[in-house]
């Protein structure tokens, strides 16, 4: 059995190892949401990962819901991504763009006073206030998308995929996790629609199916990954029928021949507690393509999961923030840098971003 440091053939894309840099929002794109050379430096420092998944990158104006995150909905943004992607490629790395629509996890401050959109008019409860460019705000009650609007949102994903392709990305990951728009459609807690996009599990899955079909038409399904978080409670998620829902999702996605299914299986970022957590081994039974695990993994757990055959790839988030040369450190058993202070996660500028040192003996 292969281990964490063995190469991996991701449906024709050769990865140097099985260690993936997880998508990490870092809010360094400025108010116009345009990537820049600082981001190129940051990603290039981490290019020894087998694969980098970019920070969540929005597919349109209404998709925005976080301060100073990048977009992929204008030519200017796609042009600005080019040198960032090239910096990773020059170091021999591979990079996918994570495509993001925040849905109800946004705020009217981001949309000139217009309410954020979602499958249903159900607000986020009991979570931290939303941070907007104007300060902390209570969560809005979102506006439910009209049935006739949904094809336009799917088209936004398609345009974002085209722009990602022009920018040189090796592929895209559809952000279907952590309570953002795709997850809001999938889960019964947030989708109370009575049209063909709500009600049954099959109907709730329809939006993701359409987005995947649209994006795969641009990139080829073998360059499209999907991220899901069946166990998570971030953004007030967690539905009693989570197991049936996510097994259906994985079974349906299996038909596409995707690059991978990325399952946030670990509980380190919160657990809805509605039953037993879903395991990678359950997904293995219904999804036959490459499988990626994430959340709270150590080098040892990750290697064991890959060797046992439960996962092909493991993504690391916080370790990659503080330790740019994570692969070399893991490979050589060198100590990692101390964890980053949370205050730098979404701060702006180079501090706490590109100033974590590589290992020196
Ligand atoms: C600062 C920060 C930003 C994050 N941004 C994203 C994101 O943009 N997209 C996403 O899917 N997950 C995001 N996550 C979740 C991570 O991808 C990952 O699931 C989480 O850090 C758990 O993995 P770890 O235990 O290896 O850190 C973020 C996490 C952190 C700490």
Q: How many domains does the chain have?
A: 1
Could you tell me the distance, in angstroms and rounded to a whole number, from the CA of residue 317 to the centre of ligand 1? 5
pLDDT tens, 229-260?
999 999 999 999 999 999 999 999 999 999 99
| Tens digit of each residue's pLDDT (9 = 90 or more) over 302-327 | 999 999 999 999 999 999 999 999 99
Span from the CA of 269 to the centroid of ligand 1 (angstroms): 9
Does residue 29 lie within any of the structural domains? yes
pLDDT band at 1 (very low <50, low <70, confident <90, very high): confident
5: exposed, middle or buried (Cβ count in 10 Å: 0-12, 13-18, 19+): middle
Domain-embedded: residue 160: yes
**How far is C-alpha 24 from the geometric centre of its chain's CA atoms?**
8
In a domain, 18, yes or no: yes
User: Do 256 and 223 meet the contact criterion of CB atoms below 8 Å apart?
Assistant: no
Residue-level pLDDT at 239: 98
Residue 157: CB atoms within 10 A of its CB come to 28
Q: Which of 22, 100, 311 to mutate to test the pocket of ligand 1 (most atoms within 8 A of CB)?
A: 22
For 59, the domain range is 8-344
Determine, yes or no, domain membership for 349: no
Does residue 355 lie within any of the structural domains? no
pTM: 0.99
Res. 72: pLDDT tops 90: yes
User: What pLDDT is attached to residue 127?
Assistant: 78
At 360 the pLDDT is: 84
Alpha carbon of 146 to ligand 1 centroid (Å): 31
Q: How far is CA 352 from each of CA 40, 327, 349, rounded to the nearest angstrom?
A: 15, 20, 8
Which CATH number fits the domain that encloses residue 167?
3.20.20.70
**Residue among 275, 267, 323 nearest 297 (CA):** 267
- Residue 260 annotated to the active site: no
Average model confidence (pLDDT) across the chain: 97
326 Cα–ligand 1 center, Å: 16
pLDDT digits (tens, 9 = 90+) for 4-43: 999 999 999 999 999 999 999 999 999 999 999 999 999 9
- Structure confidence at residue 128 (pLDDT): 85
- Compute the average pLDDT of residues 336-345: 97
- Per residue in 163-222, pLDDT (tens digit) is 999 999 999 999 999 999 999 999 999 999 999 999 999 999 999 999 999 999 999 999
3 domain residue, yes or no: no
pLDDT at 361 over 80: no
Instruction: Give the active site residue among 180, 197, 242, 297.
Output: 180
Q: Please list, in sequence order, all residues whose beta carbon lies within 8 angstroms of the beta carbon of residue 132, skipping any fewer than 6 positions away.
A: 67, 107, 109, 110
In the block, tokens 């795969």 appear at 216
**Among 4, 20, 25, 270, residue to substitute to test ligand 1 (most atoms within 8 Å of Cβ):** 25
Per-residue pLDDT at 126: 78
CA nearest ligand 1 atom 11, residue: 23
């Amino acid at each position: 059995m292969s281990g964490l440091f063995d190469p991996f053939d991701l449906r024709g894309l050769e990865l140097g190892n099985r260690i993936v840099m997880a998508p990490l929002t870092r809010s360094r794109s400025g108010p116009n949401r345009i990537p820049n050379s600082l981001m190129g430096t940051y990603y290039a420092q981490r290019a020894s990962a087998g694969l980098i998944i970019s920070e969540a990158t929005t597919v349109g104006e209404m998709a925005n819901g976080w301060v100073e995150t990048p977009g992929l909905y204008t030519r200017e943004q796609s042009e600005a991504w080019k040198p960032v992607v090239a910096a990773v490629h020059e170091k021999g790395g591979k990079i996918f763009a994570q495509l993001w629509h925040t849905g109800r996890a946004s705020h009217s401050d981001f949309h000139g006073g217009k309410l954020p959109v979602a499958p249903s008019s159900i607000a986020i409860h009991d979570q931290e206030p939303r941070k907007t460019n104007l300060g902390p705000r209570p969560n809005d009650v979102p506006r439910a998308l009209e049935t006739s609007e949904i094809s336009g949102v799917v088209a936004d994903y398609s345009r974002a995929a085209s722009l990602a392709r022009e920018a040189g990305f090796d592929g895209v990951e559809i952000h279907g996790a952590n309570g953002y728009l795709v997850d809001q459609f999938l889960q019964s807690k947030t989708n109370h629609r009575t049209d063909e996009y709500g009600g049954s599990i099959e109907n709730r899955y329809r939006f993701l199916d359409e987005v995947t079909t649209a994006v795969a038409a641009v990139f080829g399904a073998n360059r499209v990954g999907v991220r899901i978080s069946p166990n998570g409670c971030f953004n007030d998620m967690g539905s009693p029928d989570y197991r049936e829902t996510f097994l259906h999702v994985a079974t349906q996605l299996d038909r596409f021949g995707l690059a991978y299914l990325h399952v946030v299986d670990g509980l380190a970022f919160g657990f809805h507690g509605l039953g037993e957590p879903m395991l990678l081994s359950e997904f293995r039974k219904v999804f036959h393509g490459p499988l990626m695990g994430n959340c709270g993994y150590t080098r040892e757990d990750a290697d064991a999961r890959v060797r046992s055959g439960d996962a092909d790839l493991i993504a690391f988030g916080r370790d990659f923030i503080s330790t740019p040369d994570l692969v070399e450190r893991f490979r050589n058993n060198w100590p990692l840098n101390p964890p980053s202070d949370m205050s730098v996660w979404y701060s702006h500028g180079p501090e706490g971003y590109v100033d974590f040192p590589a290992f020196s003996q």
